[in-house]
Amino acid sequence: MNLKGDKMRFENKVVLVTGGAQGIGKEIAYSFAKEKAKVVIFDVNEEILNLTVKELSAYSQTIGFIVDVTDFESVEKNVNKIIDKFGRLDILVNNAGITKDNLLLRLSSDDWDKVLAVNLKGVFNCSKATAKYMVKQRYGKIINISSIIGVIGNAGQVNYAASKAGIIGFTKSLAKELGSRNINVNAVAPGYIKTAMTEKLPQAIKEKMLNTIALGRFGEASDVASAVLFLASSGADYITGQLLVVDGGLI
């Protein structure tokens, strides 16, 4: 067994993580950096992005760009910068996402549009800009971050659920388009993950949520990152067009 290969599955691979400056995206970027990948982060928060790049640079070469994933021209321009710098792009993790929750009858058209633009159009823009290089390489891994809400739905989140369900259909379709070019396209659907937001919930609400999870705990960002790294690894070379649910056995 090649132990070095097991520990450094992504050494010298070039990885792009959108929305990678904080939360689950940061944990994904950090996990790749620990395995010596060359990490590129797209984010809209310059201050947090700079801090994350500095932190991850202690593990591996990391750079960041201020990019609004809803703007195709900005996405394409910065993907081209990645190619200019590294000569290739091996892995794309479409993680950038937002929520604008409200019941349908109170949900504004603007909040519908914003969520669909970031969560779904952002996946389209980043996949389109990177796929042409992966096709030339005849190699690539695209992992899209969906959500369990895109599978089961949730009151007050019709916009978010629609965007995350859309990602699943997008993933399955793109996998069929790119499979002949040795490009794998998969999605990960996190369940209830421990975040700053869930930590602030009242204890009664947290207990109610926990009662729906077979493993009896909220997930960690590292649980999602582990699933992403698996799908990006050679161990998942014969897996494409799939949705990997990471929800602790949500009932």
pLDDT confidence bin for 9, thresholds 50/70/90: very high
Cα–Cα distance between 53 and 135 in angstroms, integer? 28
Q: Tell me the per-residue pLDDT of 211-248, one tens digit each, with 9 for 90 and over.
A: 999 999 999 999 999 999 999 999 999 999 999 999 99
Tell me if 61 sits within 8 A of 34, measured CB to CB: no
Is residue 129 pLDDT above 50, yes or no?
A: yes
Amino acid at position 245, single letter: V
Q: At what angle do helices 221-232 and 23-34 cross, to 10 degrees?
A: 50
Residue 182 has phi, psi (to 5 degrees) of 65, 35
Q: What is the pLDDT of residue 197?
A: 67
Tokens of 17: 């993580």
The 3-state secondary structure of the chain, one letter per residue:
CCHHHHHCCCCCCEEEEECCCCHHHHHHHHHHHHCCCEEEEEECCHHHHHHHHHHHCCCCCEEEEECCCCCHHHHHHHHHHHHHHHCCCCEEEECCCCCCCECHHHCCHHHHHHHHHHHHHHHHHHHHHHHHHHHHHCCEEEEEECCCHHHHCCCCEHHHHHHHHHHHHHHHHHHHHHHHHCEEEEEEEECCECCHHHHCCCHHHHHHHHCCECCCCCECHHHHHHHHHHHHCHHHCCCCCCEEEECCCEC
Q: Tell me the per-residue pLDDT of 151-203, one tens digit each, with 9 for 90 and over.
A: 999 999 999 999 999 999 999 999 999 999 999 999 999 999 998 767 877 89
Q: Tell me the per-residue pLDDT of 14-25, one tens digit each, with 9 for 90 and over.
A: 999 999 999 999
Is residue 3 pLDDT above 70, yes or no?
A: no
Cα–Cα distance between 41 and 146 in angstroms, integer? 19
Strand order in the sheet with 91-94: 62-66, 38-43, 14-18, 91-94, 140-145, 183-190, 243-246
Cα–Cα distance between 124 and 72 in angstroms, integer? 9
- Classify strands 140-145 and 38-43 as parallel, antiparallel or unpaired: unpaired
Cα–Cα distance between 43 and 49 in angstroms, integer? 6
Is residue 1 pLDDT above 80, yes or no?
A: no
Catalytic residues: 160
- The model's pTM is 0.95
Q: What is the pLDDT of residue 50?
A: 98
Rounded to the nearest 10 degrees, how much is the dihedral formed by the CA atoms of 105, 110, 112, 113?
160
Q: Tell me the per-residue pLDDT of 84-101, one tens digit each, with 9 for 90 and over.
A: 999 999 999 999 999 999
Please name every residue paired with 93 in a beta bridge, in sequence order, or none if there are none. 17, 143
Tell me if 22 sits within 8 A of 46, measured CB to CB: no
Q: Tell me the per-residue pLDDT of 24-67, one tens digit each, with 9 for 90 and over.
A: 999 999 999 999 999 999 999 999 999 999 999 999 999 999 99
Cα–Cα distance between 182 and 108 in angstroms, integer? 42
